[in-house]
Structures are given as structure tokens and as C-alpha cells.
Amino acid sequence: MPELPEVETVKSSLEPHLIGKTIKEVKVLYKNLIDTDDFEKKLVNQKIIKLNRVGKFIIFHLTDKTLISHLRMEGKYFLRENNDIYKHDHVVFKLDNGLNLVYNDVRKFGRFKILSKDKYLNEKPLSNLGPEPKNANVNQIFRILKKKNVSIKTALLDQKVISGLGNIYVDETLFESKIHPLKKTYKLKYFEVKKIIENAIKILESAINMGGTTIRTYYSTMGIDGKFQNRLKIHTKINQPCLNCKQKIEKIKVSGRGTYVCKNCQK
């Protein structure tokens, strides 16, 4: 599943091709991906002013609207010069330069929504998002976690608490912070929360610089593969020796998600 660094990679690889282009036609081939019946009509003749990212959402700033796109499990974008439709193509945006921006999604979990031009951050679903780690206030996150009785991994996956982290980067962040993924949030000390946020910032930044992580089915736009998988220290490393203590890395389930942990280092 694409997380913050992968979505950032998709955004920045699309950006140079889309800025200043006008959407001439929209075809939605799978209606469940969109939120309104007049989706196609609303986007015609809208110019793409700029692209942005908030949490794991790609934000298309248009002439007088904001279009948001969430890739969920397997969403991908392609730019095509022809009008051919391939398997799993669900939305086609025809641009005024003849290119088609195609949204392709094997699992069909991705979502689009049209929001207002200026108040989009105050509209759902963006208004429900917590801050990204780099904008997070440690005091505030500490207070939120103190009141919760869930595991720290579950809390970090909750986009309302903090946005942008998913399964891979939560595992990496908790390993770096030496905290067990099942540790209850109310038991965390202030310095531990501070460490978690600092490590999340560091790991996400380094993953963005490497174009994200390519694991199994996830590839970013136009075949650009992330390189961060080579830097993973714990995620996917079952039965391999921990880089700190050489003890075998174990795989457990937390909130139904495969979770990798060194039980010796992470307490």
C-alpha cells in the first residue's frame, strides 16, 4: 500500500506533466470510485494549477475546485498518448495536449472527491486528518496517546492521530525508537513519544529522497521504483538477525496487520 513517501513520489512525478494542462473530458468506468454523479461534468475545462499532497491524498488544485485522490491499496496513475483502455483502468482524464491521465486500480479501493477551491482542508475527509509527523506538536500527540488504550502501532496507523504513516513506516519507526508495537499508548513516556515523532520524520524524509518503497505490487507512476526497500531494517525481515542485537526478527499481528519486531530491542 502506498504510504506518504510513495504518494509524494507519485505526486512529484506527475506534476511536471500536468501543470497548466486543461481537462477536456473525463470518463469514469467504475462509478464507486467517485462521490457524485456530475463528477465528469464538474471537471471539464478545469485547468490543473498545481499538485500537492496532504497525508496520503494527492491534491489537484484546479481553476475553481480541488480534486483529491486516494490510491488506497493499489491505485496507480499512467500518462498515455493513445486512447486504449487496459484492464483495471477506471478513470480517464483527457488533457488539452492530447495526453490521457489514466487512473488504474486492481483492487478498486481508491477514491476521488471534489472539494471546494479554498476551504478544502476544512472539508471531509481532509478535515479528519491529524498532522503529519513533521508538523506534529509532541505535547499534543502525547496528550492524545495518554487518553487512548490501544497499542502504539494501532494509534500510529490511525490517520486521525497522525497522518501519512502506514504499515511499513510504523514498523521502521517503532524499531528505531526501540518501542514494542503492542505497547499501550497510555504507558508511553513523553520522551518516547518525542523519539517516535523524530524517527518518523527522519524515516519518511529519507524514504521520500529514495522515491519510496517498492514492495510486491506497489510501483509508482510511470515505472519509477522506490529504493527505500533496501534501507528497511525490520519490515519484511522475518527470521533475519536484528541489526542491533542479532536476535531473530519475529512477525506478529497488530490490528490485523503483519508486524515485524525485535523482542529484545523493542520494549
Q: Which residues lie near Zn ion (CB under 5 A)?
A: 242, 244-245, 262, 264-265
Of 26, 27, 28, whose CA–CA distance to 46 is shortest?
Answer: 26
Quick check: is 6 catalytic?
no
C-beta of 69 vs 199, nearer to Zn ion: 199
C-beta of 203 vs 262, nearer to Zn ion: 262
Burial class (CB in 10 A: 0-12, 13-18, 19+), 41: exposed
CB of 174 to Zn ion, least distance (A): 12
Q: Which of 11, 42, 56, 76 is catalytic?
A: 56
Packing angle of the helix pair 138-146, 190-209 (nearest 10 deg): 120
Quick check: is 80 catalytic?
no
The counts of H helices and E strands in the chain are 6, 10
Alpha helices (H) along the chain: 4-18, 39-43, 138-146, 152-157, 167-176, 190-209
Query: CA 85 to CA 251: how far, in whole Å?
Result: 40
Q: Which of 2, 5, 133, 181 is catalytic?
A: 2
Looking from the CA of 247 toward its CB, the CA atoms found within 13 Å total 10
Q: Report whether 229 contacts 21 (CB < 8 A).
A: no
Quick check: is 248 catalytic?
no
CB of 247 to Zn ion, least distance (A): 5
Q: Which of 3, 8, 132, 176 is catalytic?
A: 3
Q: Name the residue whose CB lies closest to Zn ion.
A: 242
C-beta of 102 vs 262, nearer to Zn ion: 262
Quick check: is 2 catalytic?
yes
CB of 178 to Zn ion, least distance (A): 9
Q: Which of 80, 227, 257, 263 is catalytic?
A: 257
C-beta of 28 vs 242, nearer to Zn ion: 242
Catalytic residues: 2-3, 56, 257
